[in-house]
Amino acid sequence: MYISVDGIVTHYDDRGAGDVIVILQGWGTELSLYEGLISHLSKTHRVIAPELPGFGETPEPPSAWSAADYSAFVLSFLEQLKIKKAILLGHSNGGRIIIKTVGSGASIEVPKIILIGSAGLTHEMTPEQLRRQKMYKLGKAMLSSAPVKLILPDALEKFKQRSGSADYRNATPVMRDTLVKLVNEDLGHLLPAIKQPTLLIWGERDDSTPVLDAKRMEELLPDGGLVVVKGAGHYCYLEQPLFVYRVLDSFLGVN
């Protein structure tokens, strides 16, 4: 299915009937990675899952977006579909968007929240990370100078492609700048404002959003509960789906 949201033709899935669950994807993913979740949850709920701008079949935003921009987009998307009440489920970056949306005062009713390996917290950099950041900024400044750009017009872009994480290297220039905006904003201060029952599902071996993040979120959330999936990583819902589905059914009150 497709719908135009704020001028962006958005691809989404809308399946099932009953109370609405909205699934927000992680960075760099497409809906096919959430087929199991959508299929399971749509047995008892209406499940709506958009591909956010920059991912899957939805074109990237016109400029670098922040968490607030993605939050506004999601609310516009739901308004277009006339959704006024929804359980929100977010994986990784999708969780970040949910924290921003609900913590800032969502314009829809959100009875429950599910965060799976959610992003949204920043960490103090190690000495090695600080050194690499300093070298990156120095290299970027040198390659951005007018004489270098004249002689080597592609050098800056190639330097950016070699630097940073795999997500950063694989992204387009707009999405790279978007990623930088997202990962540099700490949303921890918004968690105490989220009063809804919130289920945290985390892979024990998650090295993208470590379990320490989950424990910190659980402490900051007024009504948060953590379930750790043993032996699983960042995509715990793919690695141990049956266990995750049982946890979800219990939280959602499905018999």
Domains in the chain, CATH or no CATH each: 2-122+185-252 (3.40.50.1820), 127-178 (no CATH)
CA distance 255 to 250: 8
pLDDT at 133 over 50: no
pLDDT at 135 over 60: no
> What percent of the chain lies above the pLDDT cut of 70?
83
The per-residue pLDDT for 141 is 63
pLDDT at 160 over 70: no
Q: Which residue has the higher pLDDT, 137 or 184?
A: 184
Two tokens at 159? 């330097």
Q: What is the pLDDT of residues 49-68, one digit of tens each?
A: 999 999 999 999 999 999 99
Rounded to 5 degrees, what angle do the CA atoms 149, 180, 238 make?
A: 130
The per-residue pLDDT for 211 is 97
Q: What is the pLDDT of residues 93-105, one digit of tens each?
A: 999 999 999 999 9
Residue 61's alpha-carbon distances to 58, 89, 179, 250, in angstroms, are 9, 22, 12, 37
Mean pLDDT to the nearest integer, 203-219: 96
> What percent of the chain lies above the pLDDT cut of 90?
79
Mean pLDDT to the nearest integer, 198-215: 97
pLDDT at 234 over 50: yes
pTM above 0.75, yes or no: yes
Report the number of secondary-structure helices (H) and strands (E) in the chain. Answer: 11, 8
The mean predicted confidence, pLDDT, of the chain is 90
Q: Which residue has the higher pLDDT, 134 or 200?
A: 200
In this structure, what is the dihedral angle of CA atoms 121, 122, 124, 129, given to the nearest 10 degrees?
140
Confidence of residue 170 (pLDDT cuts 50, 70, 90): confident
The identity of residue 17, as a single letter, is: A
Mean pLDDT to the nearest integer, 105-133: 80
pLDDT at 115 over 60: yes
Neighbours of 224 (CB within 10 A): 20
